[in-house]
Amino acid sequence: MATTTVSLQRTARFYDSTIGKKAVMAITGLMLFGFVLIHLLGNLQLFLPLDASGRYPIDIYAEKLQHLGGLLWIARGILLGAVILHIWSSISLARTQMKARPTGYSKKDNAHSSYASRTMWISGPIIACFLIYHLLHFTGGQVHPDFQPGNVYHNVVRGFQQWPAALFYIVGMLLLGGHLEHGFWSLFQSLGVSHPRYTPILKMGAKAFATLIVVGNISMPVSVLLGIVK
Amino acid sequence: MQLTLHIWRQKSAGARGKMATYQVDANEHMSFLEMLDVLNEQLISSGQDPVAFDHDCREGICGSCGFMINGIAHGPQRGTTVCQLHMRHFKAGDELWLEPWRASAFPVVKDLVVNRSAFDRIIQAGGFITAPTGNAVDGNTIPVAKKYADRSMDAAACIGCGACVAACPNASASLFTGAKISHLGLLPQGQPERMERALNMVGQTQEEGFGNCGNIGECEAVCPKSIRLEVIAGMNLDYLKASVVWRPAGEESGAG
Ligand code: HEM
Ligand code: FES
């Protein structure tokens, strides 16, 4: 009996450790990744023309998502849980770090690491602000100039015609790109996967993936600003 | 060659420190520490307190020496301790900033000397194997595959100098602890305590107040023994296994 409690405690203490928290960040990060990819593929339907019934494919897609009902709410719940765990862990790690070096260097050279890796603490929280804005913009419509529930095509085009909004999306996506460029290979390292042959490939894959997400997402506000999509 | 040095001067652990500026005339064949010896001669002969810095072997193997030179742990030459860094890598007129390792787990003792006992306590927590006493066993009694012997040796090259902590933006000791865990974990002799080692050494590292790893890679770049980030992944994997799936002895069965 006693040993069982000890081992249960060991598993529970796992999250107390920084390695445990990083593993949680890696797994939730991976889930968010999956979301970001699917989200992009769905949204690129913005570029499809009106179909035979005179409706935009992206509006039909949005309607289908709404009809998932309970399933949609389960997916939203899981994503929200992942975001909360990801942010919660990052805050708690940040506290450890601040205590670990109370006095900084008067001179410090960071020439050997990537910019993205050193700015996870900046890109992360800005992405969080972006996420809230994004939900109030296209999901709830509270900060949208002319929100019409269900009329996704209209909402996106009208939303991005306001250049400050479009600009915020572009900046947000560039930061997400940096977050992904480091995060996508870092998460493997955090979960204990590293190999001299595959890790460099993984790093290149991370760059390609981040570029795909950034370019794909930015293409939408840019096309609206340029009047290609109207 | 004439150099301007800005050096962190701090009388004792509790005292407030500050940067002080000195001029020194070095020659390119000196090691960095010999250049500091010259400076200290000057300081002593003019009645000032010499600059304290840690050193012992001066041949790059003991891990005693180390401080920041222009923001880089052990200075600009890769894979080298400051004792093995030579003045030919600098040029006349250079201005150099020397600072001690900065981490709450490495309190400054004096000037450029920090207390690295935290590393000793991490080793005590699990950096050992259980071996029978008595006569030494014959060589090759326990066969070790070359690929593991090589990787273990690479990790064992860690001299515990603390540069990884100093360079890390998070003041993490993951490269050190990862090297120690990988060094023993890759050998058959290290298997019996492997899981406990991961739990105990990682636990101690955290208790000492080091930060977490962000896979940033500054440590790998400054490590005088070129230990690779791979050892951190190895540590993470052992720790994950030990926390989630490992069953300690006595937990294997319900009987006796
Ligand atoms: C919502 C706001 C977000 C915040 C505040 C945030 C914060 C952070 C921080 C601070 C780190 C670095 C942790 C460390 O190295 O110690 C990190 C890592 C990471 N983030 Fe985020 N992030 C956010 C959103 C996202 C999103 C949307 C994704 C995916 C699309 C993501 C994926 C990742 C991944 C994969 C890692 C690497 C985990 C690892 O190294 O194990 N994050 N995040
Ligand atoms: S003095 Fe021994 S490693 Fe530099």
Are B211 and B168 in contact, with CB atoms under 8 Å apart? yes
Contacts of B20 (CB under 8 A, 6+ apart): B6, B7, B9
Closest alpha carbon within chain B to A4:
B251
Q: At what angle do helices A163-190 and B230-244 cross, to 10 degrees?
A: 80
Give the ranges where chain A is alpha helix by DSSP (H): 2-13, 18-43, 57-67, 70-100, 115-118, 120-134, 152-160, 163-190, 198-225
User: Is B146 touching A (CB cutoff 8 A)?
Assistant: no
Q: What pLDDT was estimated at residue A15?
A: 85
Site from A6, A107, A121 to mutate, B interface, most B CB atoms within 10 angstroms? A107
Which helix (H) or strand (E) element contains residue B68?
Answer: strand B68-69
Q: Which amino acid is at B5?
A: L
Are B90 and B3 in contact, with CB atoms under 8 Å apart? yes
- Would you call A3 and B229 a contact, using CB atoms and an 8 Å cutoff? no
Q: Give dist(CA B20, CA B15) in Å, integer.
A: 15
A24: nearest Cα among A100, A69, A85:
A85
Ligand number with the minimum distance to the CA of A40: 1
- Express each pLDDT in A123-148 by its tens digit: 999 999 999 999 999 999 999 999 99
Question: Which chain B residues are closer than 8 Å to A185 by Cβ?
Answer: 215
Q: DSSP label at A102?
A: S
Question: Which chain B residues are closer than 8 Å to A193 by Cβ?
Answer: 233, 237
Q: What pLDDT was estimated at residue B40?
A: 97
* Chain B residues 33-92 with a CB less than 8 Å from chain A: 68, 70-72
Q: What pLDDT was estimated at residue B253?
A: 59
Q: Domains of chain B by range and CATH?
A: 2-109 (3.10.20.30), 117-245 (1.10.1060.10)
Question: Which chain B residues are closer than 8 Å to A93 by Cβ?
Answer: 211-212
Domain boundaries defined on chain A: 19-96+119-225
- Express each pLDDT in B193-236 by its tens digit: 999 999 999 999 999 999 999 999 999 999 999 999 999 999 99
| Chain centre to alpha carbon of residue A4 | 38
Q: How confident is the model at residue A8 (pLDDT cuts 50, 70, 90)?
A: low
Q: Strand, coil or helix: what is A189?
A: helix
- Express each pLDDT in A48-94 by its tens digit: 988 888 899 999 999 999 888 889 999 999 999 999 999 999 999 99
| Of residues A110 and A187, more confidently modeled | A187
User: Is B244 touching A (CB cutoff 8 A)?
Assistant: yes
B21: its two tokens? 């500026």
Q: What pLDDT was estimated at residue B171?
A: 96
Are B167 and B73 in contact, with CB atoms under 8 Å apart? yes
CA atoms within 13 A on the CB side of A132: 6
pLDDT higher than threshold 60 for residue A2: no
**pTM across the whole model:** 0.91
| Of residues B136 and B151, more confidently modeled | B151
Q: What pLDDT was estimated at residue A4?
A: 45
Q: What pLDDT was estimated at residue A83?
A: 97
Are A189 and A168 in contact, with CB atoms under 8 Å apart? no
A182: nearest Cα among A148, A205, A212:
A205
Beta B2-9 vs B95-99: how paired, if at all?
parallel
Q: Which of A101, A117, A182 sits opposite B171 (nearest CB)?
A: A101
Q: Give dist(CA B126, CA B137) in Å, integer.
A: 23
Q: What pLDDT was estimated at residue A206?
A: 95
Q: What pLDDT was estimated at residue B251?
A: 65
Closest alpha carbon within chain B to A89:
B212
B173: nearest Cα among B120, B121, B219, B128:
B219
Q: What pLDDT was estimated at residue B252?
A: 58
Q: Give dist(CA A108, CA B167) in Å, integer.
A: 8
CA distance, residue B254 to nearest chain A CA (Å): 9
Q: How confident is the model at residue A14 (pLDDT cuts 50, 70, 90)?
A: confident
Are A126 and A177 in contact, with CB atoms under 8 Å apart? no
The residue whose CB lies within 8 Å of the most ligand 1 atoms, and thus the one to mutate among A119, A126, A127, is A127
- Would you call A7 and B247 a contact, using CB atoms and an 8 Å cutoff? yes
- Express each pLDDT in B3-16 by its tens digit: 999 999 999 999 99
Residue B29: other Cβ atoms inside 10 A = 9
Are A13 and A5 in contact, with CB atoms under 8 Å apart? no
The beta-strand segments (E) located in B70-160 are: 72-73, 95-99, 108-110, 113-114
B24 Cβ below 6 A of ligand 2:
no
Q: What pLDDT was estimated at residue A10?
A: 65
Ligand 1 centroid to residue A120 C-alpha, Å = 7
Contacts of B136 (CB under 8 A, 6+ apart): none
Q: How confident is the model at residue A1 (pLDDT cuts 50, 70, 90)?
A: very low
Q: Which of B97, B104, B215 sits opposite A189 (nearest CB)?
A: B215
Q: What pLDDT was estimated at residue A3?
A: 44
Q: Three-state SS across B138-194?
A: CCCCCCCCHHHHHHHHHHHCCCCCCHHHHHCCCCECHHHHHHHHHHHHCCHHHCCCH
First and final C-alpha spacing in chain A: 68
Q: DSSP letter string over A167-181?
A: HHHHHHHHHHHHHHH
User: Is B238 touching A (CB cutoff 8 A)?
Assistant: yes
Residue written as tokens 């890769």? B78
Q: Give dist(CA A38, CA A16) in Å, integer.
A: 32
Nearest atom in ligand 1 to A90's CA: 10
Give the ranges where A101-197 is alpha helix by DSSP (H): 115-118, 120-134, 152-160, 163-190
Closest alpha carbon within chain A to B211:
A97
Mean pLDDT of chain B: 94
User: Is B96 touching A (CB cutoff 8 A)?
Assistant: no
